[in-house]
Amino acid sequence: MTPLVERPGALWLDTGTPEGTAAGTSYVAAEPALWLRGRGDTLEILPGPLGDRGWGARVAAMDPGVGEAFDRLKAIARGLTTPMLQAVGEARFPGGLAGFFSYDLGRRFEEVPATIAPHSADVPWDFVLGLYDEVLSLDGRTGVRRVHRLPGSARRLERHTPLLPSRLPDVPGAAVLPQPEMTRAEHAEAVRSIREHISAGTIYQANLTLRFRAPSTHPRAPLATFLRLQASNPAPFAAYLDLPGMAVVSTSPECFLSLSADRRALSRPIKGTAPRGADPVSDASFRQGLLASFKDRAELTMIVDLVRNDLGRVCALGTVSRAPELRCEAHPTVWHLVADVQGRLRDGVDGLDLLRASFPPGSCIGAPKIRAMAIIEELERSRRGPYTGAIGWVSADGGLGLSVAIRTLVFREGEVSYGVGGGIVYDSDPDREWEEALLKGRALANALASSSLPLTSHARAGN
């Protein structure tokens, strides 16, 4: 039996745990009934790899047919919501829409002009989502599997359905190392420009992206890269998306938005990174150093204020947390400085209203958000696409589960690309920012170059 992740339209989404570890729940599916692709006023609804299984007519009846693509998507998502699935508890994915929302969708929400000329391999869509009517979940802590189906869906999956291949696909490593779009001198000039804006009082900080590109033509390269990253750089929100004409691979540590069925909204911004130590003493020293870092704490505090403001647009008065505690979160290779921002949605709004109010993720933009986005548009060389957008689901029980699409690779048009970013403040040093960008991209470059990493125990549990 062909493993799910090797079938057309395959989807793998990890949810992580509240502690930030990778051993949460994984949702795996394939062969969606429909694809929904949106850009501006255009919404395309395409049959899935094996046909629409009757969903085409049902979705067409929900679609108003006119207006912005995102508003039409909202109407479809509301039509898919199934009250019988609703249950109080954590955000989960029993089926519904899953895929990515591009950073460029946020420019439409905030009316930031698009001035960056597109590259031939750039993603032209603001969002690409599959309608998955049957999903298999795997509990990473207990190994328990469950099959979830939307009402009226045919039975195709069983709990014993294999999720992953027993070995890595036989794909050679990349022959050419990814190359940055900016030179070191150009990147330093962009950092200095942001510092000048900060000095002038225009912004407090901005996140600058450095994009890397390399040729990639092997059809199984995206899956091989995903499995290599699971082995070498596991993350709470790992993702693999096999989409029409492209694939997205992510190993994100950051929860952008989580909305449970009882309407509790959560965002968990990250700012500040320190390496893990080789022994308990050095590990504790790195952790304490990050906690004591004035620069990192100030950056995260600014982003927390931004996120609180975003959630306040759609949450009931007085429910948004006032002063989240900043804490260090342990990941396999790094420490991150993290905060939780929570609220409860007010009546009459839903998960996509929450997305619109919060998008794009503030931790990858800067503050104030709209001005920072305009400066980003002036300085960066290419459109971000899925990078610093969001990956995850809009579920049929009214929930939402989205990660921030960082540490994310996009395979399209014979090329693989990824972005790495850094929050620039007045005290930022251009040389250190360049070195940090290279460091952040190292795991992605290694996953593209290597062809011999074994599967992790987490991955083997999916067989």
Please identify every residue annotated as catalytic. 254, 271
Rounded-to-integer distance, Cα 271 and Cα 100, Å: 22
Residues β-bridged to residue 264: 344
Please classify residue 388 by burial: count the beta carbons closer than 10 Å to its beta carbon, then call 0-12 exposed, 13-18 middle and 19+ buried. Answer: buried
Alpha-carbon 239 to chain mean position: 8
At residue 215's C-alpha, the angle toward residues 213 and 221, to 5°, is 105
* Residue 459 phi, psi dihedral angles, 5° rounding: -70, -40
Reading the block at residue 143, the tokens are: 């190994």
Rounded-to-integer distance, Cα 26 and Cα 231, Å: 15
Neighbours of 268 (CB within 10 A): 26
Which residues, in sequence order, are CB contacts of 160 under 8 Å at separation 6+?
Answer: 145
Print burial letters for 113-137: b (CB count within 10 Å at least 16), e (below 16): eeebeebebbbebbbbbbbbbbbbb
